[in-house]
Amino acid sequence: MSARLIDGKAVAAEIRTRIAGEVASFLARTGKVPHLAAVLVGDDPASAVYVRNKQTACEKAGLKSTLHRLSVTTTTEQLLELIAQLNADPDTHGILVQLPLPAQIDSQHVLDAVTPLKDVDCFHAENVGLMVQGRPRFLPCTPSGCQQLLIHAAVETAGKHAVVLGRSEIVGKPMAMLLVQKGQAADATVTICHSRTQNLAEIVKQADIIIAAIGKPQFVTANMVKPGATVIDVGINRVGDKLVGDVDFDAVKEIAGAITPVPGGVGPMTIAMLLQNTLRAAQIQVGASQT
């Protein structure tokens, strides 16, 4: 029997509709429109598509979105100058620096320069620290999107063994932190697997919940999945003219109890959570200015 499909596109549409209502209420109350500034350096085609999708989602939900496009030859200092301007602009509530940045730019320095109150990607050390302590200002977009999918699919997580494949700062580490917290779609026993993990397949096979964010196309095969497990596929890889995840979807869906597709799974949720964070940033900043 095939796994139940967790439709991220449908869940994201519900969340965006709710956010649109909250944005309208915020505008009526404050006269302010939540404003996201996206910074795109260079001409990477995939990054351009991602930024365009984020802008479109903002506009549909009633948020303002401004794109700052910079040359591929931009220096760290030039980018930091723009970040400083956006930090100081009271009408810019969220700042998104699209990754990856060109090799000559010190990415960590740039991400650290974004003020924590406008860090809607939740990359700043202050926001990461608050999240780890269980008192988040913002939640990281992709991991919190995965968590929302678990909630909407009514997946039991308390006391379950969750295996996170990948230890990146963007997905793997924060995903593990969210799952191990107390609360909804959390309270799990979490194992992080990575490129140095021994007996990786055997560990993954023990999982009740698999979060695949390893960046390798169709890495998770059917023989690595326990029957009935929930599989959340964060990966997006281009193989020929197809987009595939980190999970061998066609084979794994015959073993898993529930699974996300690629595309149409985690991707739309990441954008929905970005909108949520931008609204939250505006609420924090406008609230602070009105007290």
Of the residues 32, 64, 98, 253, only one is catalytic, namely 98
Of the residues 32, 55, 64, 121, only one is catalytic, namely 121
Quick check: is 98 catalytic? yes
Quick check: is 283 catalytic? no
Quick check: is 198 catalytic? no
Q: Which of 207, 226, 270, 256 is nearest to 5 (CA)?
A: 256
Residue with tokens 């061998």: 248
Q: State the maximum Cα–Cα separation within the chain, in Å, rounded to a whole number.
A: 58
Of the residues 54, 64, 118, 253, only one is catalytic, namely 54
Q: Which residues are catalytic?
A: 54, 98, 121
